[in-house]
Amino acid sequence: MIHTNLIDGEWLGSQDIVENINPSDTREVVGLYTRATTRQTEAAIAAAAAAFPAWSRSGVLQRHSILKKTADELLARKDELGALLAREEGKTLPEAIAETVRAAQVFDFFAGEALRLVGQVLPSVRPNIGIEITREPLGPIGVITPWNFPMAIPAWKIAPALCHGNTVVFKPAELVPGSAWALVDILHRAGLPNGVLNLVMGQGSVVGQAMLNSDALVGITFTGSTGTGNRVALASLEHHRKIQLEMGGKNPMVVLDDADLDIAVEACVSSAFFSTGQRCTAASRLIVTDGIHDRFVGALIARLDVLNVDHALKPGSHIGPVVDAQQLASNLNYIDIGKQQGARLAFGGDCLNRGTPGFYLQPTLFTEASNAMRICREEIFGPVAAVIRVRDYDEALAVANDTPFGLSSGIVTTSLKHASDFKRNAQAGMVMVNLSTAGVDFHVPFGGRKASSYGPREQGQYAAEFYTTVKTAYTSA
């Protein structure tokens, strides 16, 4: 079967068909997927614009029931869809199933939100005048997503967009069309009218660029690298388009002398290495105070030593492969840079051979790193972390905040004083105490500061800030 694009309710092919390759076993073709052309992308945008007036006035019960049906089908098919996700992206099967469940939870949440859309009624400061503040949908919205959460990130953008009455043109990352196609197929069969959700798979430089060039898309929600996010921002300015950008991270995890060692090691292993370190919320700077440094490094290395890096579907795999050859080459290049700039390679650093040909990389730990080194300033987006030794809490906080990014910031401590101070002063959108920097809930705001995020937060009720525009109406009685 060749998977095609959904444009105005029809599945349309093109001459340009690509193989979706399994990074755990590069001999396996997960499926064949069609790239949309520029013209098809423009047709998808036109369809979303044409469908908007009716969908924006659609009843909330219709939206509720479509989103709920989608949640139910995702949940019922979590094992199958999780396996597809693991095969195309490379995260382990348990992680991939959990991501599918998360997508179902997001649709379930926004199915409920559709029945809870509210405004405000206020008295005017002038006599005999009433004021209503309402939230209206924005219009046709572009959704551009990265490869590392092929199901959850599309879910947490498409669900609120539809819930609030917007229409959507969805461009998933080229590397992971499978989960995107499956999600759109489910939503389409759940009863969305033609044109309300359009799928355009293909390259960022073609399909993504056609979306950036469009006058009709009144909003773009984007997750990906800071470089591409900046392009989205600049291109959107001249179209007066609303934007929501979730971008890179270089997240710190502080470990203080008074930390519980087991909690510190687990929080750091999970933050830095699970999902192959390919999470925007991954901690790649482990900032450790002097008194616990040597014990912490010893315990962390012992833990890394027993992690299995192997095929994503293999029972017992803790870490799957890196997503593709290019990302692997980039990770190896950063490992070289770390060595050249004087960090000590304390664990890993090499590719691994496994039973199947894939992009396997050892979890890699540097020690004796300084926060000025490139491995501590630039996002690597792989299973690579560096330990930075500091004197005390004050230095730890300063180093944690000394970064261009500001997504998630963690601390492991038993001190209420330091935990409270860190929550107040960490320059990040999300702060974790005695927890991994990754791992978030779906009903509360998600996002960061500085080069990590731009525009309103995602998820939960805060999603309305992006997916609606506020109207203030005055009525004289």
Which of 99, 113, 268, 280 is labelled catalytic? 280
Of 393-432, binders to ligand NDP (CB under 6 A) are 407
Residue 246 among the catalytic residues: yes
Contacts of 397 by beta carbon, 8 Å cutoff, 6+ apart: 254, 421, 422, 425, 426
Q: Least separation, in Å, of the C-beta of 148 and ligand NDP?
A: 5
When binding is defined by CB under 6 A, the residue of 119, 193, 204, 439 that contacts ligand NDP is 204
Nearer to ligand NDP, 317 or 453 (CB): 453
The Cα 154–Cα 414 span in angstroms is: 37
When binding is defined by CB under 6 A, the residue of 137, 248, 252, 348 that contacts ligand NDP is 248
Task: For residue 369, give the H/E element and its range.
Answer: none
DSSP annotation of 319? B
Of 132, 205, 137, 138, the residue nearest 171 (C-alpha): 205
Of 102-131, binders to ligand NDP (CB under 6 A) are none
DSSP annotation of 89? H
When binding is defined by CB under 6 A, the residue of 28, 101, 213, 231 that contacts ligand NDP is 231
Task: For residue 234, give the H/E element and its range.
Answer: helix 226-237
Q: Which stretch binds ligand NDP (CB under 6 A): 29-37, 103-111, 206-214, 285-293?
A: 206-214
Task: Give φ, ψ of 362 to 5 degrees.
Answer: -65, 145
When binding is defined by CB under 6 A, the residue of 92, 179, 452, 459 that contacts ligand NDP is 452
Q: Please report whether residue 247 would count as binding ligand NDP according to CB under 6 A.
A: yes
Nearer to ligand NDP, 165 or 382 (CB): 382
Q: Which stretch binds ligand NDP (CB under 6 A): 72-80, 88-96, 247-255, 462-470?
A: 247-255
Nearer to ligand NDP, 366 or 381 (CB): 381
CB-CB neighbours of 238 under 10 Å: 10
Q: Which stretch binds ligand NDP (CB under 6 A): 185-193, 200-208, 294-302, 353-361?
A: 200-208
Facing residues of 159 across strands?
none
Nearer to ligand NDP, 289 or 327 (CB): 327
When binding is defined by CB under 6 A, the residue of 90, 160, 249, 382 that contacts ligand NDP is 249
Buried-exposed string 48-83: b where 16+ CB fall within 10 A, e elsewhere = bbebbeebeebeeeebbebbbbbbbbbbebbeebbb
Q: Please report whether residue 381 would count as binding ligand NDP according to CB under 6 A.
A: yes
The Cα 149–Cα 141 span in angstroms is: 20
The Cα 2–Cα 19 span in angstroms is: 10
The two tokens of residue 212 are 């950036």
Nearer to ligand NDP, 367 or 437 (CB): 437
Query: What is the rounded end-to-end Cα distance, in angstroms, of the chain?
Result: 62
Nearer to ligand NDP, 92 or 367 (CB): 92
Facing residues of 137 across strands?
468
- Tell me the H-state helices in 134-289: 152-163, 177-189, 209-212, 226-237, 261-273
Q: Please report whether residue 380 would count as binding ligand NDP according to CB under 6 A.
A: no
Q: Least separation, in Å, of the C-beta of 85 and ligand NDP?
A: 14
Q: Least separation, in Å, of the C-beta of 230 and ligand NDP?
A: 10
The Cα 211–Cα 52 span in angstroms is: 17
The two tokens of residue 235 are 């291109």
When binding is defined by CB under 6 A, the residue of 82, 90, 139, 146 that contacts ligand NDP is 146
Nearer to ligand NDP, 223 or 271 (CB): 223
Contacts of 31 by beta carbon, 8 Å cutoff, 6+ apart: 1, 3, 19, 20, 177, 178, 181
Of 153-182, binders to ligand NDP (CB under 6 A) are 171, 173-174
The two tokens of residue 32 are 């064949």
Angle at Cα 240 formed by Cα 196 and Cα 428, nearest 5°?
Answer: 90
Q: Least separation, in Å, of the C-beta of 218 and ligand NDP?
A: 16
Which of 42, 113, 246, 379 is labelled catalytic? 246
Q: Please report whether residue 212 would count as binding ligand NDP according to CB under 6 A.
A: yes
Enzyme catalytic residues:
246, 280
Using CB under 6 A, list all residues that contact ligand NDP: 144-149, 171, 173-174, 203-205, 208-209, 212, 223-225, 228, 231, 246-249, 280, 379, 381, 407, 452
